[in-house]
Chains A and B, each alone.
Chain A
């Protein structure tokens, strides 16, 4: 999983500020997935993107959250007007078109704390 790079690793934001989390997929991977993990819980799917396309955003909250994966550069998960309930670990994973076995790789995660 060392190939999927996420930054920042830790981010502290005050309520009402914006948080931007970045994910660079493993080389050769064109599919990116964002997951959120609340304390003491499992990972929850948020969004699945390919370059310049959102494929599945069924897990994204309806407001304040958005994601993109531009033609150039990393995927961005953006949270506007953060609230305390947004405090969580946000994991990015990447894969080729079809993943089997261990071809789905997770990044180290970004821990967001809202104060």
Chain B
């Protein structure tokens, strides 16, 4: 089985930076995903890490350390529209794409 932990809620100011941490325990790790989900909508893919290091994509970056079972999502230059839940998900095993999700981190961006 898997255990994925991330903070429940975070608040930040428009224009600032927020870092959302995710820790996981799993066997057969095969990739970590970050999704954004606005209330009442589907999860939208943000980033994917399978090797250690930082993946940068515009204002969003994601980091992975497999030895520590740790990832973070970094949101820069926060905008009001970034207020959403951010879901960390781990893929396990060599076949298929079954993902195990954390509980999600609700980010509130204030003016």
Contacts and interface: CB of A to CB of B under 8 A. Distances in A.
Real complex partners, A and B?
yes
Interface of A: 1, 31, 33, 35, 41-45, 48, 55-56, 91, 93, 95, 97-102, 104-109, 111
A45 B100 contact: yes
A107 to B, nearest CB: 6
Interface in B4-39: 31, 33, 35
Interface of B: 31, 33, 35, 40-45, 48, 50, 87, 89, 91, 95-104
Among A41, A44, A45, A108, residue most surrounded by chain B Cβ atoms (within 10 Å): A45
B96 A108 contact: no
B43 A44 contact: no
B59 to A, nearest CB: 17
Given A42-B87, A42-B103, A106-B43, 20 more contacts: A31-B97, A33-B97, A33-B98, A33-B99, A35-B101, A41-B104, A42-B104, A43-B43, A43-B101, A45-B101, A48-B96, A48-B97, A48-B98, A56-B98, A91-B42, A101-B45, A102-B45, A104-B45, A108-B41, A109-B42
